[in-house]
Amino acid sequence: MNNLRHTPVHRICCRATSSAGVRWSSYVGDVRRLHNLSKSCASAATSSSSAFARAPTTTPPPSIPSPLPTAPHAQQVSAFPSLVIGPNRSLTPLGSFASAQAAFLDPPDDVVEDLLDRLVELNVGIVAHYYMDVELQGVLHAVRRRQMDMLSRGNGGGVVGVGRSVPEYPLVAIADSLRMGDDAVRMCAENSASAIICLGVDFMSESVSAIMGRNGHPDVPVYRASVGRIGCSLAESAESDGYRAWLERCVRDGASIGKKSLHVVYINTSLETKAVSSSIMPTITCTSSNVLQTILQASAQLGPDDLRVCYGPDTYMGENLISLLDGVLSSGWSDDRIRSDLHPLHDRSTVRALRDNILVYPHGNCVVHHMFGTSVVEAVERDYPDAYVTAHLEVPGEMFQVALRRSLDDMGVVGSTSNILNFIERKVEEAAAEGRGGGGEGGDGKKRRLKFILGTEAGMVTSIVRSVQDILDSRSCRDVEAEIVFPVSSEAVMGVDDHDGEGRSSSTSATTTTTTSLGVVPGSAGGEGCSAAGGCATCPFMKMNDLDAVRDIVDMIGRQRSSTTSNARDELRLSRHMPPNRLAGKYIDGKDAIELGTEPIVYMREFMKEKRLGDELVERVERAGRMAA
């Protein structure tokens, strides 16, 4: 244990072995040991009266040093753990949590090559959510990059030891839950993928399978990373009897006052939720990227005074939408500005009518975003007055309000994971363009560091790091850094003292030398970096997806393909990796439940394509309103 602690991370991950399978197992085993080591180093939860844990230390965290000077020390003081992305693809983690994120961003080449070879050989695609564990995302990003590099060099004729052509469409896609389904369909259509591995929670694999089936690929199997249930607190809140009762009450109460009703349901819910909802009232799905435009367009088409929008199940997102509309009204937006910047068919009176006709389900939230509470917001406001603040629409109102206020001055963004990524990319692009050839801010040769508060799940950092590195490389920019700050609550982390594996302290620690940085590890006090006091690092459900599981599935598929006789054991195990199939063969009010469940997604896709609600959905809302009256 102690030997591993003081072994550089790049040496831990790059041990040479004799075979691809052993190399893979060695890497995964080292990853697990390093993760377990960080947990064993936690000695006691931080006191609620203490701002954050500190750890006396002498050994710096693993980093990829930059040959260039870093930003001035005053800019490096950080209340939260953070990861600094610099020129020449340098990474400097501040705090143990950030070190854990950075350690796995550049996986060993042999691990990457082995997985790519197997995916090409078996023609298997992988779709993964942004919130995957950083070690898994590091490998997936590298596999995708390696595939694209081979194609760009004209090496698509085959892979060593495989003898198959490298497909032109990526074998790996990392995206939000909606794009995962689209990417899976394209893998089937363009690569003739024989199977899809879906890395996410259960409703995502269920949705991917349904979308593939609806687009002509019902026989391509979809496999999850676990044989057990991979839950989601938000999705499950919409599967309760309480949610159904709330929908029925929305319809009943709307009819009593002569209003039409439309259910806008977050796409991060199960097919069963969508099917049951569709049977109760007209339903359209939304994403965190399009939810605002969805309700604005619905109100404009169906009448802002006549339509009630019933939004669920994410309570925070619904309340944040109302806050956003309140902000438009209270900040004095004119009718002209509303039409130009918000929606062309709205003005102050219609925005007010929409705001007054939104009903939000009161009992649904994501366990991750729920954790960005008061204590975290206070620290952001106090310690990061000049930072850019990003907030997912699912975060609690306090965090959302900070990001919303700063977004008015282009100092923040509220929205989806894609919105957050695009905002960070834009800001880095702008800074790189200003600094290129000018010696940095002010032309004095000093680095300019942009700070971004990451108000969503920490798994996004892999995509952010890759994008920022690519921007700085493409512009040959040497004077801009981006610091990604993880707003983790004090109760969500543990102080790091050096322990010998049996609870005895020693005089050294494996974090960082400056007293202003934090020595923290996620998961010890609150479970995967979360606490009820505010601040969440990672989603425990998403972390049920790991490298071991991916390799196991690939190996089972390979054995099934190469065996002359059916391998009953592998066949059974693979069947247990398939998505939930709760709606197969079921009907609701005489309608096929799967068709009913995918209907709201079809309505959303039509809206996204045409920028207006489809005629079929509008007619359903109008008809339901007449029948209720």
Please state whether the predicted TM-score (pTM) of the whole model is above 0.85. Answer: no
Residue 16 has pLDDT above 60, yes or no: no
At residue 472, the pLDDT reads: 95
Mean pLDDT of 435-451: 64
Mean pLDDT of 566-593: 83
Distance CA 420, CA 497 (A): 35
Nearby residues of 524 by Cβ (< 8 Å), 6 or more positions away: 39, 42, 45, 493, 494
* CATH entry 3.40.50.10800 includes domain 112-232+547-576: yes
Compute the mean pLDDT over every residue in the chain, rounded to the nearest whole number: 75
Q: What is the dihedral of CA 198, 200, 201, 206, to 10 degrees?
A: -30
* Per-residue model confidence as pLDDT tens digits over 319-353: 888 988 998 898 889 999 999 989 999 999 999 99
CA angle, residues 227, 30, 549, in degrees to nearest 5: 15
At residue 155, the pLDDT reads: 59
Residue 73 has pLDDT above 50, yes or no: no
DSSP H helical ranges for 531-592: 547-562, 568-576
DSSP H helical ranges for 168-270: 177-191, 202-214, 233-237, 241-256
Mean pLDDT of 359-373: 63
At residue 335, the pLDDT reads: 97
Distance CA 251, CA 256 (A): 9
Contact between residue 532 and residue 490 where contact means Cβ atoms under 8 Å apart: no
**629 band by pLDDT with thresholds 50, 70 and 90:** low
Which of the 8 DSSP states describes residue 5?
Answer: H
At residue 373, the pLDDT reads: 55
* Per-residue model confidence as pLDDT tens digits over 518-551: 223 232 222 233 333 333 445 666 767 788 889 9
Contact between residue 55 and residue 41 where contact means Cβ atoms under 8 Å apart: no
Q: Which residue has the higher pLDDT, 346 or 362?
A: 346
User: Residue 607's CB: how many other CB atoms inside 10 A?
Assistant: 21
**Sheet with 260-266, edge to edge strand ranges:** 283-286, 260-266, 307-312, 358-360
Q: Which of 61-70, 181-190, 485-494 is predicted most confidently? A: 181-190
CA-nearest of 494, 501, 495 to 524 is 494
At residue 68, the pLDDT reads: 38
Q: Which of 257-266, 398-407, 479-488 is predicted most confidently? A: 257-266
Bridge partners of 452?
388, 484
**481 band by pLDDT with thresholds 50, 70 and 90:** very high
Tokens found for residue 215 = 């687009």
Q: Which residue has the higher pLDDT, 507 or 455?
A: 455
Considering the chain, tell me which residue range(s) the CATH 3.40.50.10800 domain(s) occupy: 112-232+547-576
